[in-house]
Amino acid sequence: MSLLRKNSTEEQLKAKSGILRTDWDIDEIEALFNLPFIDLVFKAQSIHRQNFDPNSVQISTLLSIKTGACPEDCSYCSQSAGNDTSLEREKLLALDKVIVAAKEAKDSGVTRFCMGAAWRNPTDKSLDNVIEMIEGVKELGLETCVTLGMLDGQQAQRLKKAGLNYYNHNLDTSPEFYGTVITTRTYQDRLDTIQHVQDAGINVCAGGILGMGETRHDRARLLQELANLSQHPDSVPINDLVQVQGTPLDGIDRLDSFEFIRTIAVARILMPKSYVRLSAGRVEMNDEMQSLCFLSGANSIFYGERLLTTDNPIENHDDVLIAKLGMEKEKPAFAN
């Protein structure tokens, strides 16, 4: 009897009782990856339908509030000070510019407004400024999300008090492959920040980047780390590497599209109640690939022409695709 079949009864019992598994074994996850493609997609779509409206997609937008000169050495990032990408360093955006951008996002149907700053970790003064932005965006009736680098427990509590809904902090890849991509921040640093965020009662947004030269085993290990957190991330962004000239990963072989879709499907199976976001890299995906990702359990996208410093599909194209598929944008709800 296969390992996958052996554990199916336990999975069904836990699913019926509403228990989310946080004890996935790597062999189980790799067995999912190895399923025939159609069987994997069917399994993922079946689980998706048990937990979400299959024809609804949640819309977020991402604004860079502080761009460039990041001290981290992430091999994929245009904002690293160590990568020669000709990206100009910018100061923290003024509050009024952030609010204008948030209003425009809300008018376009966005329900969550995300703000990213190229910091290793925020100082107390910079956190004061971001908190003003969070409070201003929430007054518009939008959910708020920020990604500011590493946090300690006290900073996470301050963000919770300000009403922050989500904090994004990706694991990026497997623990074993991580050191080939980043050396200035440890994997444990990332896990510690996620724990501080969860302890503060803030929703976690955590995912990874595919196509950095990792193996399928690394992709399985990334999903295992996410699914075996004490609490599943509320939102799981899956990024397809955007190759930026001047970064060490520019020119690397692109990941096969079916392998990307498989990863989306396995993420949906492991984390059935999490939003799975089809994130960076959509410019390089055709409509058919994105549609298969939705079929495999993706139910969230970033809206707007830019994701921090890289291109994103224009809103009109997303609207056309969503309409073609007979899907609808998730209805906005006043942020609480």
Written in H, E and C, the secondary structure of 86-152 is CCCCCCCCCHHHHHHHHHHHHHCCCCEEEEEECCCCCCHHHHHHHHHHHHHHHCCCCEEEEECCCCC
- Indicate if 77 belongs to the active site: yes
Q: How deeply is 213 buried, as exposed, middle or buried, from its count of CB atoms within 10 A (0-12, 13-18, 19+)?
A: middle
Cα separation of the two ends of the chain: 48
**In angstroms, rounded to a whole number, what is the distance separating the alpha carbons of residues 88 and 93?**
14
Would the pLDDT of 61 be above 80?
Answer: yes
- Indicate if 293 belongs to the active site: no
Q: Copy the structure tokens of residue 104.
A: 């425009």
**In angstroms, rounded to a whole number, what is the distance separating the alpha carbons of residues 280 and 45?**
22
Would the pLDDT of 3 be above 90?
Answer: no
- Buried b / exposed e over 113-126, threshold 16 CB at 10 Å, is bbbbbbbebbeeeb
The pTM of the whole model exceeds 0.95: no
Q: Averaged over 68-73, what is the pLDDT?
A: 69
Residue that wins the pLDDT comparison between 88 and 149: 149
- Indicate if 114 belongs to the active site: yes
Q: Which residue is catalytic, options 70, 158, 221, 293?
A: 70
Contact 205, 168 (CB under 8 A): yes
Contact 131, 155 (CB under 8 A): no
Amino acid (1-letter code) at residue 80: S
**Rama region for 214: left / alpha / beta (φ>0; ψ in -120 to 50; rest):** beta
Would the pLDDT of 211 be above 70?
Answer: yes
Q: Which residue is catalytic, options 158, 190, 277, 282?
A: 277
Contacts of 59 (CB under 8 A, 6+ apart): 108, 109, 110, 111, 112, 300, 301, 303, 329, 330
Would the pLDDT of 160 be above 50?
Answer: yes
Q: Which residue is catalytic, options 205, 221, 262, 268?
A: 205
**In angstroms, rounded to a whole number, what is the distance separating the alpha carbons of residues 209 and 31?**
21
Would the pLDDT of 136 be above 60?
Answer: yes
| pLDDT one-digit tens code per residue, 249-296 | 888 889 999 999 999 999 999 999 999 999 888 888 999 999 999 999
| pLDDT one-digit tens code per residue, 20-32 | 999 999 999 999 9
Mean pLDDT, the chain, as a whole number? 86
Q: Which residue is catalytic, options 112, 145, 282, 293?
A: 145
pLDDT of residue 187: 94
Contacts of 124 (CB under 8 A, 6+ apart): none
Pairing mode, strands 306-307 and 310-311: antiparallel
Residue that wins the pLDDT comparison between 211 and 76: 211
pLDDT of residue 11: 53
Q: Averaged over 39-57, what is the pLDDT?
A: 97
Q: Averaged over 124-128, what is the pLDDT?
A: 89
Which band of pLDDT confidence, cut at 50, 70 and 90, is reported for residue 159? Answer: very high
Tracing tokens 């309409």 back to the chain, one arrives at 323
Would the pLDDT of 236 be above 90?
Answer: yes
Q: How many residues does the chain have?
A: 336
